[in-house]
Amino acid sequence: MNITTAIFDMDGLLIDSEPLWYEAAQECLGKFGMIIGEEQYVETTGLRTKEFLQHWFGVFNIDHAHIPSTEKEITDLVITKVMDGGTMMEGVLEAMELVKQSSLKVGLASSSPLALIKAVLEKTKMEQYFSAICSAEFLPYGKPNPQVFINCAIELGSQPAACICFEDSFNGMIAAKAAR
């Protein structure tokens, strides 16, 4: 099958937000006495904030009742950090122009909440490149589940096997591979 579609992840691929997520997590989780080292943190990169918190609250035996408020706090803090100082990854605009010239359909599939996706696209002025934008925010499962990539392909009118995915996290690569 010929490749007709390019689907991009966002965090760590289009915008250098992974350090901002880490900073926000450290600030918010510090209130519970939690400290997560960078090597440990990488294990959960690419997960939705809810799953990230479920994992780490389980590890540190923190009451899961705090997850909804902490999830909102982290997301709001990341949006602020992105808007204040987020930067595009090197070569992104060149890559997007190349894909645009190739006449591939282009989508964005992220585990991030839609509010953050919109903030990143506003900050980077990249809305013009994407014909479909999909978030795993309200799906039953986030990455490494493939549904966000499958939904993006469907929204673009493409078969999953006709898509190439650009992803930077281990969990995201599992999702892209599982989506075929």
Catalytic residue among 9, 16, 63, 84: 9
CA count, 13 A, side-chain hemisphere, 142: 23
Catalytic residue among 11, 16, 63, 84: 11
Q: What is the mean pLDDT of each run of 10 residues along the chain (180 residues)?
A: 94 93 95 91 86 94 97 96 94 93 95 95 95 96 94 97 93 88
3-state secondary structure 48-88: CHHHHHHHHHHHCCCCHHHHHHHHHHHHHHHHHHHHHHCCE
Q: Catalytic annotation on 11?
A: yes
Strand order, beta sheet including 105-110: 132-135, 105-110, 5-8, 163-166
**Confidence at residue 116, expressed as pLDDT on a 0 to 100 scale:** 96
> Nearest CA to 154 among 126, 128, 180?
180
b or e along 106-142 (b: 16 or more beta carbons within 10 Å of the residue's beta carbon)?
A: bbbbbbbbeebbebbbebbebeebbebbbbbbebeeb
**Rounded Cα distance, 17 and 92, in Å:** 14
Q: Catalytic annotation on 76?
A: no
Chain-centroid distance, C-alpha 154: 19
pTM for the full model? 0.88
> Nearest CA to 106 among 98, 118, 117?
98
